[in-house]
Amino acid sequence: MRSKKAQALKVLISLMIMILIYLIIMAVLKTRQPSSLRRSYEVTNERFREEKSQFHQSQRQLVKVGSVFTIVPELPHNLNVLIIINTIPLETERRNILRQTWARQSSWTLESQSSFPDSGDIVDIGYFFMMGFHRNPCIDQSVKDESQIHRDILRVNLTESYRGLINKVLLTFEWVTNLDTKPRFIVKADHDIYVKIPELATWLLITPTPTKLFAGFVIRNAHVIRAIQSPWYVSKEDYSEEFFPPYCGGPFYIFSHNLFLHVMNASKVIKPFVVEDAYMALLVNKMGVEPHDSGRYLVNWDRTLNDEVLKTPEDKIKIPSGVVLGDSISSVAIKLIHRVYMRG
């Protein structure tokens, strides 16, 4: 009888020890949970600052092309003008429309005109689309399939976001500096504009411009936004002035190759911030260069154009002056503008 009581007591003690161990473990996990959640919250809040420094790390890894650029385009060796078109993975239809309209590898011979000393020049123009990842496997695979057909996509190993645009642009520009081809002009364009390519070729080769050229639609006295909830928020730590220097609006701007190289060198030492076009002006400003202002002759930035084109019968559409039209032009409007423009 005593033996059974002793055995029962041992079982009870063992159970109590197991319960005690369980309670201790739960207490430890409970005390750790807030710290884990706090770390997760802090990581989320720090993501933007990590994203801004990411392009510096990526630049040091450019030798490992596959780690930074998962798809690269094929380009002609001799280019006068290279157009880099900013797009996102989902916009397959838009890219196809651009390929059918103004975005194509082309050569233009400037007609001989006695008043132009450079008449008769041939302008070779190339382009490619830059984008990041969508992170939907089906969409990202579709982009890879598209690239194998057209060979005109540079995909940067970043997830697409507005605040990540500056990193995408800087990494793409860095890739361009390492090309064998050295175009005289590098253009950054958005996919919702229309470019009159023959007029762009003429403007670049004939119009008197500064030796070091940074041109586009010049924006002046732009206030720096400090509201943290804004997509264009810039902290005083990133940029302390109240106004940005004059800059060329992001939908379209041009660098001459000699300035482009200096800008890329400056980008490695000047801290980037989210407003991509204003940041480019800061880099240019550090080189002692001001944006070249051609008024609306180069960029006719008019967001009402899309609605005007869509509500007007095609035979009544009048193409506005300006080498570049937009932005915010729909795919349908781009096709209409192109048909009317090419009919001359």
165, 54 contact by CB (below 8 A): no
pLDDT tens for each residue of 114-151: 333 444 578 899 999 999 999 999 999 999 999 999 99
pLDDT for res 314: 97
Across 2-16, 145-159, 268-282, least confident range: 2-16
Poorest-pLDDT segment among 51-55, 74-78, 131-135, 217-221: 51-55
The confidence band for 112, taking pLDDT boundaries of 50, 70 and 90, is very low
- Tell me if 216 sits within 8 A of 112, measured CB to CB: no
- Is residue 344 over pLDDT 90? no
pLDDT at residue 42, rounded to an integer? 30
What pLDDT is stored for residue 57 in this prediction?
A: 38
For 32, 130, 134, 156, 341, the CA distances from 175, given in Å and listed in that order, are 45, 11, 21, 10, 33
Determine contact, residues 187/248, Cβ cutoff 8 Å: no
User: Which of 22-36, 116-130, 201-215 has the weakest average pLDDT?
Assistant: 22-36
Confidence of residue 25 (pLDDT cuts 50, 70, 90): low
* Banded pLDDT at 283 (limits 50, 70, 90): very high
**pTM exceeds cut of 0.75:** yes
18-22, 220-224, 227-231, 320-324: least confident range: 18-22
Q: Which residue has the tokens 């020890």?
A: 17
Reply yes or no on whether the pLDDT at 204 is more than 70.
yes
* Predicted pLDDT of residue 22: 58
Residue % of the chain over a pLDDT of 90: 70
Give CA–CA dist 215/252, Å, rounded: 9
**String of DSSP letters for 192-245:** T-EE-HHHHHHHHHHS---SS-EEEEEE-SPBPP--TTSTT---TTT--SSBPP
d(CA 327, CA 325): 6
pLDDT confidence bin for 6, thresholds 50/70/90: low
Q: How confident is the model at residue 159 (pLDDT cuts 50, 70, 90)?
A: very high
Least confident of 66-75, 136-145, 175-184, 257-266: 66-75
Instruction: Supply the angle between the helices 92-100 and 331-343 in degrees, to the nearest 10.
Output: 0
What's the start-to-end Cα distance of the chain, in Å? 112
CB 91 within 8 A of CB 143: no
Q: Which residue has the higher pLDDT, 161 or 109?
A: 161
Condensed to tens digits (0 to 9), the pLDDT of residues 70-83 reads: 999 999 988 999 99
Rounded (5°) CA angle 54-60-61: 90
Q: What band does 9 get if pLDDT is binned at 50, 70 and 90?
A: low
Rounded distance between C-alpha atoms, residue 142 and residue 155, angstroms: 12
- Residue at token pair 């509201």: 227
